[in-house]
Structure 1
Amino acid sequence: MADVSNTSFTKQARSMNNKLVAANTNFGFKLFGQIFRQNSRENIFVSPTSVAIALSMTYNGASGTTQQAMAQTLQLQGMSLNEINQSQLALINILQNPDPKVKLSIANSLWAKKDVIFKPDFLQKSKEFYKAQVTNLDFANPNSPSIINGWVNQNTNGKIPKIIDRINPDDILFLINAIYFKGSWTKEFPKNATQQRPFTLLNGTRKQHPLMSQTGRFGYYENQSFQAISLPYGTRRLSMYVFLPKQNINLQSFYNNLTAENWEQWMNQFVSRQGTIVLPRFKLEYEVTLNQALQALGMGMAFQDRANFSGMTAVPAKINQVKHKTFVEVNEEGTEAAAVTSVGVTATSVQIPQQEPFRMVVDRPFFCAIRDNQTGTILFMGSIVEPK
């Protein structure tokens, strides 16, 4: 009898997980769309998973219409709070260090202002479901920002040294998520094949840039709008997906079609094909305040004085700022990436034979995403308009 219930629990956990992954994917593309509208001519690189985890922790303290607005923005309608928390915990556990050749760590922390009383249930859920390190801190102490930034630096392997510049008198809580990823390609790009070649920028000018190159069998998909390739890491559980819009396709129209529904369809179209990929080496640090994007997605209530975070503390509170920082480096050996999201709360492949080898030369703006192929989780996504 025990075995049967255990099996049903496993099935239930799996289905909850799928629902959460679908919510995170949907939220991720909507968030990316908002950021792209604001900064379409710049490089963008975000971790929808990091933002979703940090906001899910915060969601545990929301009540009433604030909670409803957050659920709508995070695409969590129809999931109970317990279901969300159990699924986040399952997902964090499944994602940690998934492959001998991939390091993937997810860490959460909660920094509470000393002398402000937080609901024990809220703190307990942060520890239990998000494995969060909960610290009471004297926010008046000038060393407090560097204590928080020290945690961020440590949990991103030094790639993001700082998320907080200062602590304001009204600040009562910081909820922070950090993700660190380092993966070696299943097949490295030979260094001697990397050459300086022209990369065409958005304004039509060309700049010389190191482009890596390799030939082999890859997951590949092409339609009228773009070419796409899956570049696997390690034992192939995680991949970087690179989408190159065709010459005649405007980047904006490509992003207009970048929805969760289309993404799922595209993921099912990849087949194993022989071909050549030419890809720029690039390294970038990205920083964005997400208040505007999250408000546009329906979460405005959480940033207003009438916000209801009574599940967190009896002190009237609202979200002051959602800061997000990322780092990524792609080279011949693989990819290193990190992300940190801080929520500040203030008072108030199937093989198809006999196809021509493809050739994909990524020498103009492109989209890329790092995805866990087992759960479908998108860890990072970016629009690279000028590799540096």
Structure 2
Amino acid sequence: MNPQKYSSMRENFMQRRYGVSLGRRYAMAAASVVLCSVLGYSQVDSNKGVLAQSGLPQPETPLQKKTLKTDTKLVESSNKFGFKLFSEVLKKDRDQKNVFISPSSVAIALAMTYNGASGTTQLAIAKTLELQGLNLSEINSSYAAALKQLLNNSDPKVQLNIANSLWANKNFSFQPDFLQRIQYFYKAKVSNLNFQDPAAPNIINNWVKDNTNGKIDRIIEIIEPSQVLFLINAIYFKGKWSQEFDKSQTAQYPFYTISGKPKQHPMMSQDGDYRYYESKQFQAVSLPYGKDGKFSFYIFLPKQNSNLKAFYQNLNVENWDKWMTQFSKQKGFIRLPRFKSEYDVTLNDALKALGMEEAFSNKANFSGMGKNFAISEVKHKTFVEVNEEGTEAAAATSVAIVATAFREEPEPFRMIVDRPFFCAIRDNQTGRVLFTGSIIDPQ
């Protein structure tokens, strides 16, 4: 076949199939190479993978590189969704325990799920994720670019891994286009699995453990008979402070819990130049990681005449964006508790409250995946440790899909940082908030 004619035919095929040009496809494939080399997993087992069995084409080797710019719409949508989700989660655990979630992990897992949704279910998920005004092609292309940019890190003091996977019950068939989009745009490991095998949960959990550096070792307890698909995201972050705390300066000081009762706790101290912001309601500081400060740990400490409850009433993406512009370099002193925390939550109620109730019901329309599917459970687990050297954090999100034809409707169900504070880990280059937390009792 004439080479020019072949190239033109392939270009037309990609336009019809994905709504992207071939040049853009090559750029996405370049992101694939970066992700696979960083995360250390193959995209599909050629003997066992779902795509291999379906005969779908594998991503091509890139012939040219193209820089993919940050999609500010996607960053804004992700952050807006993240603060709404954090607010819903706080309603349950605000005063009981520390809360620490990864909005980015949840958003990525749900974006993969969104690829299989249709009709009003798709609209409901788009509204919840704040993706109105973006079509599926734009969303997928933006996530592919975002993953590439986030993982484009040359700082030896900062490690960030983001991995996705799709685990399909081998006894069910799914739309090939859906599977290929998840693999192609999200660089997901796509696998067939015998869900009736007692070892199946461990196979999935071992993948999560490997991709969170052992910090989260279990996201699936058991696989219900009606569950046919799991879409999972894992994020691992480890950053050393640009200016590490001197361990010899760490000492016992009182930390005042939500009740106002003091408890002795190891507190780290240092002085230096910081990006700092102070309002009538709070003090805020940015503690950068690594040599270039691409990532930072932000602390917002309510003043003595205020509290976290009042702060959370004003925590939204509009105020967050405004606050981010108010930080300026200033000399100062900070005393910060050393802490480690683990958190897990089932997000069904929170996501229903944000508008996704239909996706969990028998009215769900996931015809983009196949027939008669719905979300049964969205589970989220996190880990964070802050010490003199820096911060280590991990998150995993699992979206479980069930075959509605085989399930029964479930039963209805009902800056001396010495006091509770809010914290976040943010990618300062893109503005994306990776983690948010409410620390009321450092352990």
Q: Name the TM-score class by shorter chain.
A: over 0.9
The equivalent residue for 2:78 is 24
Q: Deviations over 1:223-268 (max 9, x none)?
A: 0000000000002010000000111113111101000000000000
The equivalent residue for 1:296 is 353
Distance (whole Å) between structure 2 residues aligned to residue 130 and residue 12 of structure 1: 17
Give the SS at the match of 1:19.
Answer: helix
The equivalent residue for 2:338 is 281
Amino acid at match of 1:57: M
Distance (whole Å) between structure 1 residues aligned to residue 68 and residue 130 of structure 2: 19
Shift of 1:12: 10
Amino acid at match of 1:83: E
Distance (whole Å) between structure 1 residues aligned to residue 242 and residue 164 of structure 2: 29
Q: Deviations over 1:69-114 (max 9, x none)?
A: 0000000000010000001011111111522210000000000001
Confirm whether residue 67 of structure 1 aligns to residue 114 of structure 2.
Answer: no
Amino acid at match of 2:102: S
Q: In the alignment, which of 425, 429, 434 is matched to residue 370 of structure 1?
A: 425
Distance (whole Å) between structure 2 residues aligned to residue 135 and residue 347 of structure 1: 18
Give the SS at the match of 1:72.
Answer: helix
Closer/same/farther in 2, CA of residues 149 and 211 from structure 1, 3 Å limit:
same
Distance (whole Å) between structure 1 residues aligned to residue 260 and residue 294 of structure 2: 37
Distance (whole Å) between structure 1 residues aligned to residue 337 and residue 152 of structure 2: 27
Q: Deviations over 1:185-238 (max 9, x none)?
A: 000000011110000000111110000000000000000000000000002010
Given that 2:308 and 2:422 are in contact with CA atoms closer than 8 Å, whether structure 1 keeps it comes out as no
Q: Deviations over 1:277-297 (max 9, x none)?
A: 100000011000000000000
Confirm whether residue 272 of structure 1 aligns to residue 326 of structure 2.
Answer: no
Which structure 2 residues correspond to residues 1-388 of structure 1 after superposition, within 5 A? 13-14=68-69, 17-41=71-95, 42-96=97-151, 98=153, 99-234=155-290, 235-314=292-371, 316-348=372-404, 360-388=415-443
Given that 1:97 and 1:103 are in contact with CA atoms closer than 8 Å, whether structure 2 keeps it comes out as no
Shift of 1:11: 11
Distance (whole Å) between structure 1 residues aligned to residue 217 and residue 319 of structure 2: 36
Amino acid at match of 2:251: Q
Distance (whole Å) between structure 2 residues aligned to residue 63 and residue 379 of structure 1: 28
Distance (whole Å) between structure 1 residues aligned to residue 142 and residue 264 of structure 2: 46
Given that 2:384 and 2:391 are in contact with CA atoms closer than 8 Å, whether structure 1 keeps it comes out as yes
Shift of 1:14: 2.9
Distance (whole Å) between structure 2 residues aligned to residue 253 and residue 345 of structure 1: 38
Amino acid at match of 2:391: T
Distance (whole Å) between structure 1 residues aligned to residue 132 and residue 105 of structure 2: 20
Whose Rg is larger? 2
Given that 1:308 and 1:317 are in contact with CA atoms closer than 8 Å, whether structure 2 keeps it comes out as yes
Shift of 1:37: 1.2
Amino acid at match of 1:40: R
Q: Deviations over 1:110-168 (max 9, x none)?
A: 00001201100000000111000000000000000000000000000000001000001
Amino acid at match of 1:317: F
The equivalent residue for 1:352 is none
Given that 1:97 and 1:104 are in contact with CA atoms closer than 8 Å, whether structure 2 keeps it comes out as no
Shift of 1:309: 0.3
Q: CA RMSD in A?
A: 1.5
Q: May I ask how many residue pairs the two structures share in their alignment?
A: 369
Q: Which has the higher contact order (CA 8 A, sep 6+)?
A: 1
Give the SS at the match of 2:69.
Answer: helix
Amino acid at match of 1:309: F
| TM-score of the superposed pair, with normalisation by structure 1 | 0.93
Distance (whole Å) between structure 2 residues aligned to residue 146 and residue 163 of structure 1: 10
The equivalent residue for 2:46 is none
Q: Relative to structure 2, which stretch is displaced further, 362-371 or 33-42?
A: 33-42
Amino acid at match of 1:364: R
The equivalent residue for 1:354 is none
Give the SS at the match of 1:67.
Answer: helix
Q: Which runs of 5+ in 2 are unaligned?
A: 1-22, 28-64, 405-414
Amino acid at match of 1:267: M
Given that 1:97 and 1:105 are in contact with CA atoms closer than 8 Å, whether structure 2 keeps it comes out as no
Shift of 1:38: 1.4
Distance (whole Å) between structure 2 residues aligned to residue 347 and residue 206 of structure 1: 51
